[in-house]
Amino acid sequence: EAAVTQSPRNKVAVTGGKVTLSCNQTNNHNNMYWYRQDTGHGLRLIHYSYGAGSTEKGDIPDGYKASRPSQENFSLILELATPSQTSVYFCASGGDNTEVFFGKGTRLTVV
């Protein structure tokens, strides 16, 4: 079973602060993704990556940056957190011809 680990699992941040959400996968998948899930919106893609050193904008990238320093790690960075970024964030990984596997999610609250 593919393994995707997110940290932290829960985070409370202050408005204007910097937040980094981390994701590690041990499946040697090329592709990694960051989604957010809000009630009434389903899963929305923020950023994704095809491999180490690459990041691409998804459907809702504003206010977020991403970093893929290695095949295994993909981070989501909120430079200036706002209350509207309160959400549940999911990281996922997948191969070029495989299904996508998800981490357990990070609940972020910005106060």
> Does the protein bind another protein through residue 102 (CB under 8 A)?
yes
Q: 59 or 79: whose CB is closer to another protein?
A: 59
| Cα within 13 Å of Cα(59), Cβ side | 8
Which of 48, 64, 74, 89 touches another protein by CB under 8 A?
48
Distance CA 4, CA 86 (A): 22
At residue 68, φ and ψ (nearest 5 deg) are -125, 85
Beta carbons of 104 and 3 less than 8 angstroms apart:
no
> Does the protein bind another protein through residue 56 (CB under 8 A)?
yes
> Does the protein bind another protein through residue 5 (CB under 8 A)?
no
Which of 52, 60, 77, 100 touches another protein by CB under 8 A?
100
> Does the protein bind another protein through residue 57 (CB under 8 A)?
no
Beta carbons of 101 and 28 less than 8 angstroms apart:
no
Which of 77, 104, 108, 111 touches another protein by CB under 8 A?
104
Which of 36, 94, 108, 110 touches another protein by CB under 8 A?
94
With contacts defined by CB under 8 A, how many residues of the chain interact with another protein?
20
Q: Which residues contact 3 (CB under 8 A, 6 or more apart)?
A: 25, 26, 27, 101
